[in-house]
Amino acid sequence: MIIRYFILALVCLTLAEDEFSPGETATSPNEMKAALPVRYLLFEVNYGEGFNLRRDVYIRMANMVKFLNEEGGQQWVLVLPPWGNIYHWQSPIKQTKIPWSRFFDLDSFRRHIPVMELADWMAVVGTPAVIDEIYYLQTYSEGWVDGQWTERRDIRPCNDPSYYKKVDGEVEGHFWGYTKTIKGKSFECLSVQNEIKTFTDFLRDEAKGQSILIDRGETLTHGRYSEWSKEWWLGRRSIRFSKKLMDIGDEFRKKHLESTDEADLTLMDSDWTKQQKALGSALGGPYLAIHLRRKDFLRGSRKEVPSLSFAAEQIEKLLVEKSLSKVFIATDAPESEFQVLTQSLGEYQVYRYVPTSEQLNEIGDGGVAIVDQWIAAHARYFAGTSVSTFSFRIHEERSLLGFPPDSTYNRLCGEKEDPADCAKEQPGRWFPKYD
């Protein structure tokens, strides 16, 4: 992480005769142009998907670029689409065209693969910036063949197109709000059932343009490179939060939760490629952390989501079991519900991260979510919400910090679900293998 950041932090490529490897960082724009031809992979995700699912899709795209570059013959760079208009970001502030560097340490990304912000790609390819080929991924309208998922892909009529060809042949789309400065040359809908490793064949051999946009990137699966694989964990380990956000979380931990990296045994090397924490090596701060998802999960009438009273009952039980007096709660619940929860835990100290108005304007809702995750990741014990990607990201962060599975892979139960079903998911049902 402690690496000089170039104004146009373009890509982790050296000159054409050199090969990128984990641990290297970006070159200058002039060196980048000297290394051409380079191919750019842009990606987008279904509009309704949230912040944490999009981070998972990034790993899929990143590993595709890694596989392509390992095959040789071509140099690929992943272009990071700006953030904005996420459903869960509901604060009354402007939250569009946000660069990834607001939330993450891109130098850390570049130790895994070459990446660049969309604005930097636009600066390199010129104005208007042209996307040569756009592929909108979709499922097969007829479903699986004989009830079986098999790998295949075909150019098909669009089920629900998000791009349109104008009379002059130019392709029109949202393009992250840059409709006047980004243009598309060609557009096809691609029905696909592919793992990311297989899809590299299409990008290498069938897509011909220099800049390729893959929309609905979540349609591709990790497949054999899922959470159980070394490749997946390499991509995940490279995702480090921005120093600013970690500093906010660390300050909160120290001020309210008596938690520091030294005392918690959670010190990390600034370079993820040089350190890998052994599971069970982290102690964690003297507090319980809970992720309690409300809002849309309540509307979905999910039986796994507890009522406030049942959540409080489980939290109190955990505090007693773990001999803790403090609990940090990350939740999308309104303040009125949080106060009900706090009152139900009257004899315990209950904390929630609430940014100042200045902080909120600076880091946005995405930054608030990361601070929440960072604080929760350092707790002595964590329990999340069933099938929530927010909780999943905390699971991953805790594993990377060295927490044992039985203090990490836990969740609150819903009073309407079978206790046996809830018990199957904890403690430590999933044991991450990233070594």
Instruction: Give catalytic residue positions.
Output: 49
Report residue 35 as tokens. Answer: 């290394």
Cα gap 118→166, rounded to integer Å: 24
**Count H helices, E strands: the chain?**
14, 15
With H, G, I as helix, E, B as strand and everything else as coil, classify residue 383. strand
Going by C-beta distance under 8 Å and a sequence separation of 6 or more, which residues neighbour residue 362?
none
Query: What one-character-per-residue DSSP string does 326-341 give?
Result: EEEEEE---HHHHHHH
Q: Give the sign of the dihedral formed by CA 245, CA 367, CA 83, CA 199.
A: positive
C-alpha distances in Å from residue 198, one per residue of 2, 54, 100, 195, 208: 35, 21, 27, 5, 17
Report residue 27 as tokens. Answer: 């070159």
H helical segments located in 322-402: 335-344, 357-377, 389-401
Cα gap 160→47, rounded to integer Å: 13
